Chains A and B, each alone.
Chain A
């Protein structure tokens, strides 16, 4: 049986910039018809002929760029808005987590808000009471439960919002990037809850920018592009096609040397013509696991003979954190000159980055590192999924072991900031 069936769903938004927005404007329009003359009508199709079905008990992932119609589709499935054409059939009780804690009132206590929010989501008082302790427990609120939520931290609010929603026990859970909230520890907990949902045979429909999550969790994936279905089916194939396209598009967007924009610059005597990320088997991919081998292959073209170029790469987490920025000069690889086409590879034996999305920059410069021939600023993106035993908070996993040494006591550190020399680390001593 299918939990959700979408048949030819289209959604048109009509924007009328000249439509009166108030009685005042309406009145002015009546008095002065010339002001109404250019009644523009802009149509915008957020979704175009989207069809798919989600069998009960499976997990369905939706990927796509911002503005591709993902949220509109979720709102239609959740019955918040109506499609312009086509129809949606839903079998079972739906809980849509499109925004956590949207209904909280600051003056009410956590307890009162749980009942209020529960009833907004369609629960009876008895149903909320039945899972009340579970909610408080999951949200880690403890004694704060009888404090007005205006005194809560933002983290506590998010935890409470998620806790109420996941304790609803719906047949179909719809989530929109809700896992991108809260601290890392709580994200893990929420993810655990979602996995639990999937395990007990609930239907899940999720939108996520975390493509690895889509690959791991989903039975089917849908790629939306400008409101149309670009790909539907196996999540590994769909997410791969999507990321191929997204990286390609990012490269095309900055264009050739003529179109120097804010993400690519340089003097272009040497151009980077293509960048590939390769896995251990040498095939291009955008998906890795912690500890996998990674090769960044840079295809270049030197339009004239260039002496002693330096090739570099940068790995970034988000827009602000640079994790590493090695280059051929630091590594002691001196390239005498280049002319014509060639390839430079940066090979990482173990990619010890933790779960997440990473961005890659690529650069060619002269030997002083001051003159850039071509710079691609964070144009490529890849994702890392966790490998058991190599998980860590923060972006980097350092290969290491933990030891517990029972009964070994060091001196108790005195106060006043005085730090005694640490005792020698017990273990095999050199010599």
Chain B
């Protein structure tokens, strides 16, 4: 029986409220883009400009020696932007809807989840200019592109875990978001966005893949879109498992705090 699995009733309820997730995502996107094509254009321009700056720094000022550096760094930046949007926005999501959480019954999980999903849509939209940059760099995507959805799903589950846990923690500890601001800057430099893990000194590269799942997630994207080859299935599986563990941990934190949220928000 399905109901014998602990928490399955919560999941069933979440499924019943899928329309709310859809509507919250649609709302986020509409408000962000103000229903205009120009709005979408601006949001795509941001990673391209950032990528141009990094490319200038690491090919002209401090040459890194990596070919197609613009493509290399753009992949990292897109994955990073999704992470920032989902983690910072997700952490605020329950507080920001406090008036609602206090007054209306609905599964509160939908708030961080929809933040992750609306940032996922941005990520997917940004894949369009990414493919253009790929083609400009002379790289034609091969059949290994079928694994891209799995790589995206891996990051999605990882971010949901973080967003769920942080959104709930932010209610009793109101400075979670402020602490995050500092941590995110550190995380950015400790993540191989503009450098390669393989270039790290000594045993750091091995440690990086273990403690920073985002490093593995970006490595997956780079294998598929930059090196344009088949990835190591074991590495991909391990990354996926890491994401599942983070999701389970985040959801556990959320579940422990859930009953307190409407009272304390």
A contact set with B: CB distance below 8 Å: 13, 20-24, 26, 75, 78-82, 94, 96, 98-99, 102-103, 105, 107-108, 112, 115-116, 119-125
Contacts and interface: CB of A to CB of B under 8 A. Distances in A.
Contact of B100 (A24, A120, A123): A120
Interface string B8-35: 0000000011011011101100110010
B17 A102 contact: no
A80 B179 CA distance: 29
Contacts of A108: 27, 30-31
14 contacts: A20-B173, A26-B173, A75-B262, A96-B105, A107-B30, A107-B31, A108-B30, A112-B27, A112-B30, A116-B27, A120-B20, A122-B16, A122-B20, A124-B19
B16 A119 contact: no
Given A96-B105, A98-B104, A81 B17 contact: no
Given A108-B30, A116-B27, A119-B23, A103 B104 contact: yes
B4 to A, nearest CB: 22
Interface size classification for chain B:
20 to 34
Given A107-B34, A119-B20, A122-B17, A21 B174 contact: yes
Contacts of A121: 104, 106
Given A99-B104, A103-B104, A116-B27, 15 more contacts: A22-B173, A23-B179, A24-B175, A26-B173, A79-B105, A80-B102, A81-B259, A81-B262, A82-B259, A99-B99, A107-B31, A108-B31, A119-B23, A122-B20, A125-B19
B172 A21 contact: yes
Contacts of A13: 263
A107 B104 CA distance: 21
A23 B173 contact: yes
Given A81-B262, A102-B104, A116 B23 contact: yes
A36 B46 CA distance: 47
B217 to A, nearest CB: 27
Contact of B106 (A81, A99, A122): A122
B59 interface: no
Contacts of A94: 105
A23 to B, nearest CB: 5
B173 A102 contact: no
A122 B17 CA distance: 6
A119 B175 contact: no
Contacts of B99: 99, 102
B218 to A, nearest CB: 28
B228 interface: no
A221 to B, nearest CB: 24
Contacts of A75: 262
Contacts of B16: 122
Interface centre among B30, B103, B172, B179 (most CB of A within 10 A): B103
Contacts of B27: 105, 108, 112, 116
Contacts of A82: 259
Contact of B105 (A80, A107, A116): A80
A430 B194 CA distance: 101
Contacts of B19: 119, 123-125
A123 B100 CA distance: 16
A46 to B, nearest CB: 10
Contacts of B22: 119
A31 B176 CA distance: 19
A107 B103 CA distance: 21
Contacts of B263: 13, 81
Interface in B184-241: none
Q: Which 5 A-B pairs have the closest CB atoms?
A: A22-B175, A99-B103, A119-B20, A98-B103, A119-B19
Contacts of B175: 22-24
Contacts of B105: 78-80, 94, 96
A99 B176 CA distance: 28
A227 to B, nearest CB: 16
